[in-house]
Each structure stands twice: as C-alpha cells, then as structure tokens.
C-alpha cells in the first residue's frame, strides 16, 4: 500500500500533508512497516519542501516506496502535473533514491498531463518520451555523483 502525501488536497489540515506527517500517522497506528509513500515533486513543493528532501526523509524513516516524476510550477501555488524536464533537479532526486538503495516497491510514474489544447495521442506519446529521456539523464547523473562521491565526499569529510 502506498500513500501519496498531498498538501491542501482536498484540505490543508490532513494526515498526508508531507512525508513527516504521513510517518507520524503511520507510527501512531503501528503501520510504519506496512505502508510506504509515493512522493510527487509537485506535492513536495506545495508542502514547502524540495523533492529531494522528501525522498531523503522517506528513506531515513524506511517508508520510501515510489515516485511520481512530474514537475510543478514553483510560483503558482497549485498542482500543475507537468511532464518532467529539469535534469539537474531529477539528478538530485535519483541521487536520494539510489543512496537509499533504489526502488524496492513501485518505480517512476508519470502523473502528468499535456499543457496545451491537444488531445492527439502522438502529443501524449512525445510528452512521455521527453519525460523518460530527462529521467534517464537524471539517473545517469545521479549514478556519476555517487561514483565520484561528489556530494557524499564533502559531507563525510565535514562530519568525520
């Protein structure tokens, strides 16, 4: 079972606002070993967090399950569900996923819609292809960061 943290959907005061709130709910009812989270970048932003923060926290708490790899508008204040295209941001997200041991349940989902007036299946296919290509580039960059210790090296030195 996966719970997707969704701030302000349908209300702002609820048990699934962000990863920490979901964990508190699961812990309270003894479900933290049974239920995982499906984290969406757009919902992390609406909760006031970065995508990679929510992924790192879910891994630290042992409740990481799956992701919706779509993007959101940082300024709009509402969930736009757009196809992903920010490779550096995806690299940081996949870095957290790989650091946590990768996917054990779930995977990379697209909960995205076309953002123009087209119902043409070819346009939807092109959106998926572009999103998959950007995800592949982000995943490869994350693997390189782990291999060359670009992030973990300085962190380990600082806290040695």
Q: DSSP label at 58?
A: H
**pLDDT at residue 115, rounded to an integer:** 66
User: How far is 47 from 23, CA to CA, in rounded Å?
Assistant: 15
Q: What is the pLDDT of residues 12-25, one digit of tens each?
A: 777 899 999 999 99
| 72 or 53, which is more confident | 53
Residue 34 has pLDDT above 70, yes or no: yes
Q: What is the pLDDT of residues 130-157, one digit of tens each?
A: 999 999 999 999 999 999 999 999 999 9
| 50 or 81, which is more confident | 50
| 54 or 75, which is more confident | 54
pLDDT confidence bin for 116, thresholds 50/70/90: low
**pLDDT at residue 154, rounded to an integer:** 94
Q: H or E stretch including 93?
A: helix 87-99
Closest CA to 7 of 39, 52, 35, 53: 39
**What are the sequence ranges of the domains in the chain?**
2-158
**pLDDT at residue 108, rounded to an integer:** 95
Residue 75 has pLDDT above 90, yes or no: no
Supply the pTM of this predicted model. Answer: 0.92
Residue 7, class by beta-carbon neighbours within 10 Å (0-12 exposed, 13-18 middle, 19+ buried)?
Answer: buried
Q: What is the arithmetic mean of pLDDT over 79-104?
A: 93
User: How far is 38 from 133, CA to CA, in rounded Å?
Assistant: 21
Closest CA to 94 of 84, 79, 81, 83: 84
Class of domain 2-158: alpha beta
User: How far is 55 from 95, CA to CA, in rounded Å?
Assistant: 9
**pLDDT at residue 19, rounded to an integer:** 98
Quote the strand ranges of 24-148, DSSP E. 36-40, 64-68, 108-109
């Amino acid at each position: 079972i996966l719970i997707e943290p969704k701030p302000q959907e349908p209300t702002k005061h609820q048990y699934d606002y962000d990863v920490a709130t979901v964990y508190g709910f699961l812990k309270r009812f003894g479900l933290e070993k049974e239920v995982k989270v499906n984290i969406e970048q757009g919902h992390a932003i609406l909760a006031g967090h970065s995508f990679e923060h929510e992924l790192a926290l879910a891994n630290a708490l042992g409740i990481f399950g799956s992701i919706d790899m779509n993007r959101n508008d940082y300024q709009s204040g509402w969930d736009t569900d757009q196809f992903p295209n920010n490779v550096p941001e995806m690299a940081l997200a996949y870095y957290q996923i790989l650091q946590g041991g990768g996917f054990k349940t779930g995977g990379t989902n697209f909960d995205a819609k076309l953002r123009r007036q087209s119902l043409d299946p070819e346009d939807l296919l092109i959106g998926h292809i572009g999103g998959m290509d950007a995800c592949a580039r982000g995943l490869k960059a994350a693997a390189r960061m782990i291999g060359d210790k670009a992030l973990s090296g300085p962190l380990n030195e600082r806290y040695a």
